[in-house]
Structure 1
């Protein structure tokens, strides 16, 4: 197996040569074989071990076992303890999900602190099969059916092509010791139930089932890559990026026979899961929205707008004092005294200094805001009506700021100045305010 493993590393991960590598080691068969294999390669390695304190003295026995191995082989050893059950309870997670969250969070912290390059885990072909079946039972797309990726950011899984019997045979031939996790025998966990009850039946039906599965996954991966290529080509025809937002042209989208599949491909990475609501949005009323944790999708006439979602308090205000020449947050403004006006632009206003009172206040617009639009000679208008006339989307409305003087609107920033603060013949001082 070592020769096959060495060729696999050279073929798939040549960049690991002479890198600093963390090996995630539980003390079980798979991770101890991974450690033994990498200890023979020209890499700088260190061991990471998480004590989840879920099995009493057995957990501390695992830790002591790995630490002794590392001491005997002069391998740096890092360990930490977690109160996994308390964490799971506090965040309403299953024990297994809580352990995974804690483990990978700590892994990435150490990567940065110790200046290492990658983290290696001992997932193998049988783990991949179990993950495939779990995803299949829950309902999934191509991404779930292609199983555990060989590399995900800084996480690398170099044992994925190897089966558990191969790994066991290597351990026995090389007299590698390991620890048995007693919880692996329990079928109360879904993964264990699949491992002990379902997979043996599949292998009984077809002794070469694992090989057949790996071929199937290879075909699925090729199909996934074709889908991704097509998705990129269609995205360029349908989507337009505007700052942090993405605008999808519904007229173009609906010409596609499988537009729902493209939407899934584009939006899945943003954390959306309410797919029926998203598909209904295409034919829904303008103004309707679907939310993910950090993003939202808005129907705005014949466009779907994807944007980061953040809830800003309507009470949030920022002061601009008389001696300020620039504002850098929450938007960028420049302020300067000038001798005359130059050109008209929605991004620039000129105001009579004697008509304003400092500090000026910069805030988000509110329902009920009223101002006197420049050029309308004393006639009032609701800001919401201005937005409607300008055909602003909900997202554009939420991004709009209002500049005020003594509770009077001076400028709907970037859109319209107020008539009351305009320059007149009697004006002595002119203040130019520009949106950068």
Structure 2
């Protein structure tokens, strides 16, 4: 354990001896062992602890334990108690994701303001393996198969060369005490399910799983670095700044190997997801003029160019991207809710809910205000298109109400629903539908 720790320092961060490191400490065994290693090696450090208050008195006891640990080591201690539940709700993300964002943002603030060179987390090789498996389950590219990076920007993982068993053995041999989080034994979290049920099966198949994973992750990180260098040079060569927009020659995409991956490599920095890029690549073979939107940019397919522009201020205010249907989203005084149905017949009738074939949806979905020129295929009118403006005229929607009309689109830019008015025929639930999604609205 100690040898692995020193090897990491010598390979990646020899300046730890001269510049203090901010240690992210929860009070659990991994982070407490990391504190012990820094202290025993005489490395300058400070301790940062987030008390999210999610476990009541246990959370407060964790904080007291970390404060006492910092005092024994004579390390400065920083404690934060962010309102994770409010942040989670306002950003429509899970509590875990909200806690992660708040934690790392706060760590970076301390690093900058207090003169720390690095932020250290106590992730070890088992954490890295679990991260890879979670990424594979959710869908990932090459970067997600590399596990947890040993060093990224100012973030380091000095225990990454050790595994969970080695960390525990070190703690026991050195008489180290730590706090146990009861949630680690629960299967309520996805990572725990992987740890308790998936990894043991894989270890039965390959008793050397941790060793082979570490070697594979190292090679994959090297391959990813080389691919970044190659595609980065290609991207710099073909992208052209045209004063307010970026132009990409279409023949530089279609005329190359793996056009979808190349295009995604360019567009990912502008907020486009891989599923969108797949649809964009298909549209390159069609008529020019089609547009695709990310949270920050719009992409226009012109005759010979892809033209990429940042949204104007008005466009940013008039749209919301929805990357999954796990939680409701709030926008412009409206809440959009999602629910899986056993059958289309289970849908409550009325203008404020629709049922769609979930397998026909391409993500991310987008909510935005309707625009002149919007066209859709009204439900019940297969193969016949209609302007949204004509629908609103037919329904005698007054000018003020028109300003509040929004449309829900899929990742291909096709209208799913003129919200509260009429659904699109192309997403209707047919006889072969395997997954039915109810989408409904209500006041937030």
TM-score by length of 1: 0.68
- Could you tell me which residue of structure 1 aligns to residue 57 of structure 2? 57
Matched, 1:25 2:25: yes
Q: 2:291 aligns with which of 289, 292, 299?
A: 289
- Could you tell me which residue of structure 1 aligns to residue 282 of structure 2? 280
Shift of 1:218: 2.0
Relative distance call for 1:180 and 1:296 in structure 2 (3 A) is same
Relative distance call for 1:139 and 1:108 in structure 2 (3 A) is same
| 1:21-420 pair list within 5 angstroms | 21-243=21-243, 245-273=245-273, 274-312=276-314
Relative distance call for 1:180 and 1:145 in structure 2 (3 A) is same
Distance of 1:94 and 1:193 partners within structure 2 = 17
Shift of 1:155: 1.5
Relative distance call for 1:160 and 1:278 in structure 2 (3 A) is farther
Shift of 1:237: 4.3
Distance of 2:227 and 2:284 partners within structure 1 = 22
CA RMSD of aligned residues (A): 2.0
Shift of 1:292: 1.7
The 4+ residue runs of structure 1 with deviation greater than 4 A are none
Distance of 1:265 and 1:42 partners within structure 2 = 43
Distance of 1:241 and 1:50 partners within structure 2 = 43
SS of the residue 1:39 aligns to: helix
Shift of 1:281: 3.8
Shift of 1:167: 0.8
Distance of 1:140 and 1:220 partners within structure 2 = 13
Distance of 2:244 and 2:192 partners within structure 1 = 43
SS of the residue 2:46 aligns to: strand
When Rg is computed on C-alpha atoms for both structures, the one with the higher figure is: 1
SS of the residue 1:33 aligns to: helix
Relative distance call for 1:242 and 1:41 in structure 2 (3 A) is farther
Distance of 1:38 and 1:312 partners within structure 2 = 51
The answer to whether the 8 Å contact 1:18/1:42 transfers is no
The answer to whether the 8 Å contact 1:22/1:45 transfers is yes
Distance of 2:45 and 2:301 partners within structure 1 = 51
- Could you tell me which residue of structure 2 aligns to residue 387 of structure 1? none
Q: Which runs of 5+ in 2 are unaligned?
A: 316-371, 373-444
SS of the residue 1:283 aligns to: coil
Shift of 1:269: 2.9
Shift of 1:17: 3.0
Distance of 2:152 and 2:87 partners within structure 1 = 25
The Cα offsets for residues 287-327 of structure 1, whole Å up to 9 and x where unpaired, read as: 322222222322222111233323248xxxxxxxxxxxxxx
Shift of 1:56: 0.9
Distance of 1:254 and 1:126 partners within structure 2 = 41
The answer to whether the 8 Å contact 1:296/1:307 transfers is yes
Relative distance call for 1:16 and 1:64 in structure 2 (3 A) is same
Q: Which runs of 5+ in 1 are unaligned?
A: 314-366, 368-436
The answer to whether the 8 Å contact 2:19/2:117 transfers is yes
Distance of 2:73 and 2:254 partners within structure 1 = 62
Distance of 1:38 and 1:275 partners within structure 2 = 45
The answer to whether the 8 Å contact 1:31/1:122 transfers is yes
Shift of 1:126: 0.6
Distance of 2:237 and 2:113 partners within structure 1 = 43
Distance of 2:15 and 2:312 partners within structure 1 = 39
Distance of 1:290 and 1:159 partners within structure 2 = 43
- Could you tell me which residue of structure 1 aligns to residue 389 of structure 2? none
Shift of 1:175: 1.1
Distance of 1:241 and 1:158 partners within structure 2 = 41
SS of the residue 1:179 aligns to: coil
SS of the residue 2:279 aligns to: helix
TM-score by length of 2: 0.67
- Could you tell me which residue of structure 2 aligns to residue 319 of structure 1? none
The answer to whether the 8 Å contact 1:22/1:47 transfers is yes
The Cα offsets for residues 131-158 of structure 1, whole Å up to 9 and x where unpaired, read as: 1011101111101111222222222112
